[in-house]
Chains A and B, each alone.
Chain A
Amino acid sequence: MPEEQPMVQFKDVEKVYRGENVAVEHIDLEIHKGEFVCLIGTSGSGKTTTMRMINRMLEPSGGQILFNGKDIHKIDAVKLRRQIGYVIQNIGLMPHMTIYENITIVPKLLKWPEEKRRKKAKELMDLVELPEDYLDRYPSELSGGQQQRIGVIRALAANQDLILMDEPFGALDPITREALQELIKNLQEKLGKTVVFVTHDMDEALKLATKIVVMDHGHIIQNATPTELLTHPANKFVENLVGQDRLVKARADVTTVEQIMLKNPAAITPGKSLAEAISLMRNRRVDTLLVTDDENHLKGSIDLESLGTRYQSATSVGDITKSSIFYVNKNALLRDTADRILKRGFKYVPVVDNDQKLVGIVTRASLVDAVYDTIWGENEDDQASDSAKESATPTDQEPATDSAAADDRDAPKEV
């Protein structure tokens, strides 16, 4: 398997403080380029210890850490640290240096010429939307949020590819924190940086991370993407850390339209006569038919109303097809779709696959089922996950076979 070399690799790393105090042990972890890795855990879980071993602020007691394939123990600690951005919780701006001096600490250590440093500082200020004349101010003249912006760009100033962040937004108020989270996420994506981010805030981790590493008592409990973590928490501990609220919400968050749609919607091809359309409606007990071509591509819809009024003039289904129709992709997330369906007052929405082929239909009734599961599912606990699946398949399939759109006439009243 030709796999890209990880940027940082932990191999059975442990850290034992003087005596028997084990901070972390058996840490095996790979961090790849471009990843946003959140280390999360309660205090004393070893998350900060793990992070600080990467830039040799702490030396492991055992095992090996590789940085770009090279054992960090063989790299001069000072040189290593200049290649790795470092953002700490208390911001740590030097109060006696101007913003410009603060930003360019590492470039100065690397002996960049003044011209290049000045240019870089301006560029970075632009990046975080702070005015250039702030460069001559002192940290105490800036607000907490502005200071941490400087803290962040200071870690980028020498073009470091890897940034370590130790609860960088912990001390900020929620609004500022959110703004900075957005900022760092954008920067990370735009600049392709690799970030190792220590936090104890699950919301923050879920929002930012591409990979979440859950730690407890010095061990890695789970290493997964946010979606995996929400859908398949490894054990009770992770479940508690994530919280019931989020697990329940997550179900709606990660449910796709395909999972709750009704299959086999009532459909007809444009070539068919109106008489055939009416008899199909009667058979399926619906007032609307979806129109598809022979390859099952969605073309539009016809309803009973237009059928009745234009019965005289039109001959085939194609003549009265309304081609403007709202549809969703089967891979779309339910949380995005549900909103639109409910707000726009659609009775139903056809579901298509990536080739625009009709595969199913979402009705208000199937939404009710999904919402019911989300709200009440947690009380039944074990049954919850089952019923979520059930609702998507067997129970809904039955009515689907005889009445796709027919359900809808009742559904809104129930809602």
Chain B
Amino acid sequence: MFAFLNAHGSELITKTWEQLYISAIALALGVIVAVPLGILLTRFPKTAKVVIGIASMLQTVPSLALLALMIPLFGIGTVPAIVALFIYSLLPILRNTYIGMEDVDPVLIDAAKGMGMTAMQSIRQVEVPLAMPVIMAGIRLSAIYVIAWATLASYIGAGGLGDLIFNGLNLYQPDLIIGGTIPVTILALVIDWLLGRLEYHLTPVSERT
């Protein structure tokens, strides 16, 4: 193991960083787009079905195929990888945001409106805080997907820990495969734990379980 670290230590750190970088940007974009979209969709229930349907469809495209499809559009490298992973991250976040918002007791929304909150105030002060656990569950799920799938991004030249794994496959070096896989798993677990902490802090005190 020390031998492996001596040989690949610095590479491991760079690749992990790349993996993290791609995943984080893809996930951040996913959150920025899907959460507001999910909230918006609760105001248009008919459109919501269509949009969620489209997002589900995108989810069914095989990940390798999706990455390959990005090449004609964005060439190779980091950008197409981020775009592809961003598309993957959309559905869980969108669906959970939508469900979470829909599940807020209509009585509370009625009370908020009746007391004189604007639609925006109601969303920010009442609906989003109450939907937060469900929204965060979607984000955590997306985060794990994105980190795992970012490994495949190596195929289109985006780098990341996938480089180690695919090298290992090509060169029949199991230690490279394992050495690439373990950091991915650890990364996913650490990020999930961090998001868990974030969820705890974002969730209103009374709603924490």
Cβ-defined contact, A81 with B115, below 8 A: yes
Which stretch, A26-34, A86-94, A301-309, touches the partner chain B?
Answer: A86-94
> Cβ of B117 < 8 Å from any Cβ of A?
yes
Is B116 touching A81 in the complex (CB atoms < 8 A)?
A: yes
- Cβ-neighbour of B114 out of A57, A93, A97 (below 8 A): A57
Contact B114 A55 (CB under 8 A): yes
Chain B nearest Cβ from A108, distance in angstroms: 9
Given A95-B207, A96-B206, A138-B205, A109 and B121 contact (CB-CB distance below 8 Å): yes
For B107, the chain A residues whose CB sits under 8 A away are 88, 90, 92
With a cutoff of 8 Å between Cβ atoms, the chain A residues found around residue B110 in the complex are 57, 88, 92
Least Cβ distance of B113 to chain A in Å?
7
Distance between B87 CB and nearest chain A CB, rounded to angstroms:
33
**Residues of chain B in range 149-171 having any CB-CB distance to chain A below 8 Å:** none
B204 within 8 A of A: yes
The distance in angstroms between the C-alpha atoms of A138 and B205, with both chains bound, is 9
Give bound CA distance, A139 to B105, whole Å.
15
| Inter-subunit contact B130/A105 (CB<8 Å) | no
A179 interface contact, C-beta 8 A: no
Interface centre among A57, A78, A86, A92 (most CB of B within 10 A): A92
**A contact residues around B130 at 8 Å (CB):** 95-96
Does residue A82 face the partner (Cβ distance < 8 Å to B)?
yes
* Given A95-B130, A95-B207, A138-B205, CB of A106 within 8 Å of CB of B115: yes
Assess whether A79 is interfacial by the CB under 8 Å rule. Answer: yes
Minimal Cβ-Cβ distance residue in B for A86: B114
* Interchain CB contact under 8 A, B116 and A88: no
In the complex, A392 Cα to B138 Cα: how many Å? 78
Chain A 147-184 interface mask (CB, 8 Å, partner B; 1/0)? 00000001000000000100000000000000000000
Name the distance in Å between A355's Cβ and chain B's nearest Cβ. 52
B206, A78: Cβ atoms closer than 8 Å: no
Q: Does B118 contact A (CB under 8 A)?
A: yes
Binary B-proximity of A28-67 (CB < 8 A = 1, otherwise 0): 0000000000000000000000000001010000000000
Q: Is A240 an interface residue (CB 8 A)?
A: no
A78 lies within 8 A of B111 (CB) = no
A82 touches B206 (CB 8 A): no
User: Are A138 and B113 in contact (CB-based, < 8 A)?
Assistant: no
Cβ of B129 under 8 Å from chain A: yes
Q: Of all chain A residues, which has the CB nearest B113? A: A57
CA distance A86 to B117 in the complex (A): 12
Asked whether any CB of chain B lies closer than 8 Å to the CB of A140, the reply is yes
Which of B130, B205, B206 has the most C-beta atoms of chain A within 10 angstroms of its own C-beta?
B206
On whether the beta carbons of B111 and A88 are closer than 8 Å, the reply is yes
Is there an interface contact between B206 and A81, defined as CB atoms closer than 8 Å?
Answer: no
Minimum Cβ distance to chain B for residue A91 (Å):
8
**Cβ contact within 8 Å between A96 and B113:** no
CB of B33 within 8 Å of the partner chain: no
B206 and A109 form a contact (CB under 8 A): no
Residues of B close to A97: CB separation below 8 A: 204, 206
Q: What is the CB-to-nearest-CB distance from B111 to chain A, in angstroms, rounded to a whole number?
A: 3
Chain B residues touching A, range: 20 to 34
With a cutoff of 8 Å between Cβ atoms, the chain A residues found around residue B118 in the complex are 78
Is there contact, CB below 8 Å, between B114 and A94?
Answer: no
Q: In the assembly, what is the distance between CA of A93 and CA of B105, in Å?
A: 11
A140 to B108, CA, bound (A): 14
Identity of the chain B residue whose Cβ is nearest the Cβ of A155 in the assembled complex:
B115
**A88-B114 contact in complex given A94-B108, A95-B130, A138-B205, C-beta closer than 8 Å:** yes
Bound: A152/B143 CA distance, A: 44
**Interface code B82-124, partner A: CB below 8 Å = 1, 0 otherwise?**
0000000000000000000000010110111111111001000
B207→A96 contact, CB < 8 A:
yes
Asked if residues B115 and A109 are in contact (CB atoms below 8 Å), the reply is yes
User: A195 to chain B: closest CB distance in Å?
Assistant: 15
The minimal Cβ–Cβ distance linking B96 to chain A, given in whole angstroms, is: 18
Q: Closest CB-CB distance, A122 to chain B, in whole Å?
A: 20
For A106, list chain B residues within 8 Å (CB). 115-116
Q: Is the CB of A96 within 8 A of B204?
A: yes
Q: Closest A-chain residue to B111, C-beta based?
A: A92
Specify which of A78, A86, A96, A105 is in contact with B129 (CB 8 Å cutoff): A96
B70 at the interface (CB under 8 A from A): no
B119 (CB) vs chain A CBs: closest residue: A78
- Shortest Cβ distance from B108 into A: residue: A92
A109–B126 touching, CB < 8 Å: no
- List B contacts of A105 (CB < 8 A): 112, 115, 117
Contacting B at CB under 8 A, from A68-102, are 78-82, 86, 88, 90, 92-97
CA distance A94 to B129 in the complex (A): 10
Once the chains bind, are B121 and A94 in contact (CB under 8 Å)? no
**In the complex, which residue of chain B has the Cβ closest to the Cβ of A77?**
B116
Interface residues of A in 104-154 (CB under 8 A from B): 105-106, 109, 138-140, 154
Judge whether B116 and A95 touch: CB under 8 Å.
no
Residue of B with least CB distance to A137: B206
Q: Is A95 touching B206 in the complex (CB atoms < 8 A)? A: yes
If A96-B129, A96-B130 touch, does A140 touch B206 (CB 8 Å cutoff)? yes
Contact residues in A for B206 (Cβ distance below 8 Å): 95-97, 138-140
B112 / chain A contacts, CB cutoff of 8 Å: 94, 105
Q: How far is the CB of A399 from chain B (nearest CB, A)?
A: 62
Sort A-B residue pairs by CB-CB distance and give the 10 closest, nearest first. Answer: A92-B111, A96-B204, A82-B116, A81-B116, A86-B114, A138-B206, A90-B107, A92-B107, A96-B129, A78-B116
Given contacts A81-B114, A86-B111, 5 further A-B contacts (CB under 8 A): A82-B115, A86-B115, A94-B112, A95-B207, A109-B117
